[in-house]
Structure 1
Amino acid sequence: MSERTAAFEFLQIIKWASTQENFWTECAGEENTIGPSGFSQVSIQTVLPLKVSKGEYIGRIERDDPNMFGNLDDNDISLAIRFSYAGVDVVLGGDGTLNNWRSRRNRFERNVGRRIMASVVNLPHHGSQHDSAPEVLENLFTIGGDRYGVTSANGHSHPSQDVIEWLSKQGISPFCTNLMPACGANASKLFAMPGISPELAAILRQTALSGGVIQPCQGDITLRIESAGNFAVVPQHSSFCGYRSSFASLFPAGP
């Protein structure tokens, strides 16, 4: 996204928000509860960005900082949200950064004496090696029970194989919307297919005859939580995954 486009989009959001006073909820703060209609039985809290991160960004706007758009540190104000229903905690990690998770969020959790402890985590920054480092994931996942790490990524640049291997070693089952090279993806480039439905485009990428463009995927990944607290992660396509704990017996650990 260009700086001009980003600035225009930002102004559109501000203009819309100024006309929606009764419907506008600020999503920021360490544990800011939000209550959208239709989710009365679900607790929804923002866990990132922290207020200090937002303050830094506002300061850049007020200083007319010419570099305020299009920089990687824009992810410091990325949203991360926790959903709690029937005793199951789910975290959408957004593009939360290592800096925010490691120093700022961890400091807050030490002060209040509790951490997130989620059973299902949509990994920060699409499962990147940097922002989904072990020290981050250790503080996001609960200690035991069924645990799932979900990545919505292209399979080409993300997720990191190191992250998937770490999840597997911890007994956390990984689910990826697009599979990475270690799982059969050969795509050196993801071709755009304008005018073709996303469903057909996915099939074409998975069945391509030309080497270097094959992109197997699992499609949409659905989390189902019952009122009794039972839950499961269900991929759209049942692609085999040797990194999941259910297949651990097939790959015994070495000496």
Structure 2
Amino acid sequence: MKKIILGLACTAALLGTTVQAKEIRLASDFTYPPFNYKNSEGVPVGFDIEIADALCEQAKLDCTWVSQSWDSLIPSLLARKSDVIMASMRITEERKRKILFTDKYYQTPAVFVAAKSAEFGIDEKGLEGKTIGVQQGTIHDRYVTDKFGDIVNIKRYTGQDEVYLDLKNGRLDLTFGNSDQLSLAFLDKKEGEGFEFKGKAVTDKAYIGEGTALALRKQDSKLAKQFNTAIEEIRANGTYDKIAAKYFTFDIYGSDL
């Protein structure tokens, strides 16, 4: 009887592996240009999207995209509503307790952005009473909450694009986020002309993490290794640099902060 049960278990495991190999569900919130967003036709586009597609092709995986809110990405992954998170998620110790990360595929610091005319400093004295907008559930949310939560008003948004709208319309004093995303999606555009980086870049690994990576369930280590190999291979064969050049004029892969 034990042998029969074991045989059935092995068969189920093999079937599960086969299903996984046929279709890998990649999850993103698609609210984070130029990394991940949807174009006017509703098609997922951006740096994350192209890198993920290249990784799946390199690893010979059949991948499909699913849309989820940022806050639901990890719970949905653990509930098996997706197989991989590909949404510019940073590697942090807190997240590593719940999920498994691949090697990084890019690395950037975090910064504050406010109006050019703003004269306050990025410290407790300067920020007291100010309203800061952040994307809810991100490392930027946690950093602002931990460092300044007692002295500032924090407005949390489901997407970074909503933050920019309120910042532009004067409903926020400043925002805090990924330096490259803030620059490319806001400061370099017409609506961001009156704004600039404020203070020093934040590189504290306790908050900013060890880079940005794909996230999987801890038991899916084999799949993670496939993606790690693919990351190494597209870095070596020029595919990564070719994709990056479409979006950035600098080395987005970055060195360790």
What's the TM-score bracket when you normalise by the shorter of the two chains? under 0.3
Greater relative contact order, per chain length (Cα 8 Å cut-off, separation 6+): 2
Determine which structure has the larger strand proportion and give its number: 2
More helix by share: 2
TM-score under structure 2 length normalisation? 0.28
